[in-house]
Structure formats: C-alpha cells, structure tokens
Structure 1
C-alpha cells in the first residue's frame, strides 16, 4: 500500500505563494517557469524551490523549467484546493461575521455553509449569504451536512468548551481564531491564526526598517 504524502509544514506555507506567482506568469502568456525565477520572485534560493516542488513528483525540463499549468494543477491537488470542503463558523461577532462575508474561501476549496452563535438576539440575522443559527442546532447541522471542518471565532473564555463540544460531534479540523491555545486530541487537525502575533511581527519589522532608514540618513 502506497504511503500518503507527508509534506513539511514550511513547504506547505510556501505553496500558496508559488501558486500566486504561477497565476501571474500564466496570465502573461508564459507556459513554463524556472525554479530560479520562482525563487527570485519570492526572495528564496532556487535549491529550496526545487526541493519544495520535488514533493509533488513533478520534474522540470532542462533549460525550460516547469510547465505552469501542470504545476498549478498538482499544487492545488496537494493542498486540497481542487475539491470543495464545507465548513461552519462558530461565533458571529465582528471577526466571525467578516469571515462569513468573505467570498474568497471558495478559491481555496472551502465553502462556509453555516454560521452559529449563542446569542438568541442574533439568530435569524443574515451575514452575507449565511443566516445565523443557534448553537443548539449544531448537532443536527453537523450530522446532516457531514461537516468535519469548523472555524472558531468566539471569546477566549469559551473557546475550549466550544472546541470540546464540536469535536464530540465529529469535527476533525479546527481553524482557531480565538486568542487562546486549544487542546485537542491528536486525531484532530488544528490551525491557529493569531492576529496579535502577526501584528507583533509587523511592528518589529516596521521598527527595523525605520532604524535602518535612520542609520542611512546619519
């Protein structure tokens, strides 16, 4: 039996950037692209790009590079973006509502089909194409729609309970936007998007740029 492909997480994080560049070059009418060009566009080393792409099984042609259409197709497949997975959002506050109203997820193989909240006053309201449901409806909704992916966008003090509850209902993957580290079974895939960390990195990068600019002036 063939072993499933196991990709290093740093490689997975670079794949969307490769796809962005590939789409740009395809729109220009280019049919092939080299690892060197991809590396230059993204500030990487060509050897890193070649190593990343080697996980897909695609081999470039000497002096020509990789066929763009083929590489786009296999990268989308490896990332699971060539199939649409349905997901739900729990929490209809500012962040949850923003996620519910974003239509771009479909480009990445993700379709938001349900939005839930424990605030009865919000139930029945429309957010984009979604109607807010009561969390009491979660068991039936998850079962009927066979949902395995959930987005958590609730306050930190209730996030762990929400995670525990939906895992017991069959959720196998959680995208966590709550400002807390969740504890989940090893059988559940977990990805946290930490806005505070991202902002901290941006602030430090900005400060470094300002200091460099000031040194150059002096």
Structure 2
C-alpha cells in the first residue's frame, strides 16, 4: 500500500500534540477535538489513521496514550532514533540544545565538525568529533539519521561521506540540492525560501 507523504507528515503532527495532551493528563479525545488542535478536518484524521488499522471507538473517541503509542510504532519511534548533527555552527549549536528531540523519540548521539577550534570540545555534554571519523563513530554510536547544518559549498561532499557510511536518512538545512543514492531519503529545510514565501504573502496584503 502506498501511503501519501502528507499522511506521514500529519501523523508526526498528531504524535506531537498527543504527547503534550498525555503530559497534561488528557485521557480521551475525539477526532473533532484533535482536529481543532492540529488544524485539520476530523475526516482527514480518520482517513490518515485508517491506512494503518482501526483506532478509537464511536462515541468515545481515542484513548490518548494508546493512540500516541500506536503512532509511535507506525513512525518507528518506539525504540528511539539515534541522530548525528554535522556542522557545529550557530544552527547546529541551537539544534543540539533542543530538548524536544528526546521527548519525541530522537536522541542526538553524536556531533561533528571539521574545525580544529570545535573538534574535541563538548556541546551540551556531547563531544564534537572530527567529520573525518564519521564512519567509525556512526557505527560505534548506532547512528541512523543525520542532520546537516553545513555551508552550501560543503554539503555535497559531506553527504557523500555520510551516505557512504551507510546513512539512509538526511535532514538537510543547506540551501542546495543533494545528489544521493536512490535508497537514501533527504528532507530539505530551506528557511530562506520559507521566508520569501511569507514575504510574498505580506506584500500582497
């Protein structure tokens, strides 16, 4: 079965809100109430979940902890994912300190850079490794995913290094298209492009 990419994206959003609802002690929630929180239609939530089975009961809605746990299984978060950050510039430093990753099932297990001024230092308790040692450290730490926060001109070379070490999933903050093997998934986050889109919206008001 082909699952729409937008469905997977929405499941991630549902999971985040369910996590906070569980933290607040919410036991049950209807699809209508959840839809209001996440900004979707109730039928969209029901359709997204229907790809993976039957959840909730008519009249009583969803048990928050149960649905959160099931979505975690779907997204592969129940065991946690070990992530590396490559690039300890301002963005990398901000991300390594973000507490939300571990709450949502991601552990920043290693950080890397190529600057002698950063290698060997600790950032939020994590030793910064030389990017040249990526393959060895990635195996040692069980790294499954990489967040790239490197300059544009270095992004492709670093990508070749990490994918050559067996990494199949990249979150790329560099504003450049990355050439990767067919079995590697790249998700791009281009903050400048997003701001340009907002600028267009503001200019049309």
Structure 1 range deviating more: 179-188 or 34-43:
34-43
Alpha carbons 1:56, 1:75 under 8 Å: kept: no
What RMSD in Å do the two structures reach over aligned CA positions? 2.2
For structure 1, the residue ranges without an aligned partner over 5 or more in a row are 212-218
| Post-superposition CA distance 1:134-158 (Å, at most 9, x none) | 1222122123233232111110111
Task: Identify the structure with the greater helix proportion.
Answer: 1
Match of residue 39 from structure 2: 43
Does residue 196 of structure 1 match 2:192?
A: yes
User: Could you tell me which of 166, 170, 189 is aligned with 1:174?
Assistant: 170
For structure 2, the residue ranges without an aligned partner over 5 or more in a row are none
User: Could you tell me which of 137, 144, 148 is aligned with 2:140?
Assistant: 144
Match of residue 62 from structure 1: 58
Structure 1 range deviating more: 140-149 or 114-123:
140-149
Structure 1 range deviating more: 36-45 or 153-162:
36-45
Alpha carbons 1:34, 1:66 under 8 Å: kept: yes
In structure 2, the CA distance between the partners of 1:172 and 1:27, relative to structure 1 (3 Å rule), is closer
Does residue 33 of structure 1 match 2:29?
A: yes
**For the residues of structure 2 that align with 1:7 and 1:81, how far apart are their CA atoms?**
18
**For the residues of structure 2 that align with 1:146 and 1:21, how far apart are their CA atoms?**
28
Match of residue 214 from structure 1: none
Q: CA deviation at 1:186?
A: 1.3
| Post-superposition CA distance 1:67-122 (Å, at most 9, x none) | 22211110111122221221211111111111122232112221112111111122
Based on CA coordinates, which of the two structures has the bigger radius of gyration? Answer: 1
Q: What's the TM-score, normalizing by structure 2?
A: 0.88
Match of residue 123 from structure 2: 127
SS in 2 for 1:122: coil
Q: What's the TM-score, normalizing by structure 1?
A: 0.83
In structure 2, the CA distance between the partners of 1:153 and 1:68, relative to structure 1 (3 Å rule), is same
Q: CA deviation at 1:25?
A: 4.6
Q: What is the aligned residue count?
A: 205
User: Could you tell me which of 178, 183, 189 is aligned with 1:187?
Assistant: 183
**For the residues of structure 2 that align with 1:139 and 1:20, how far apart are their CA atoms?**
32
Structure with larger RCO (C-alpha < 8 A, sep 6+): 2
SS in 2 for 1:121: coil
**For the residues of structure 2 that align with 1:111 and 1:28, how far apart are their CA atoms?**
23
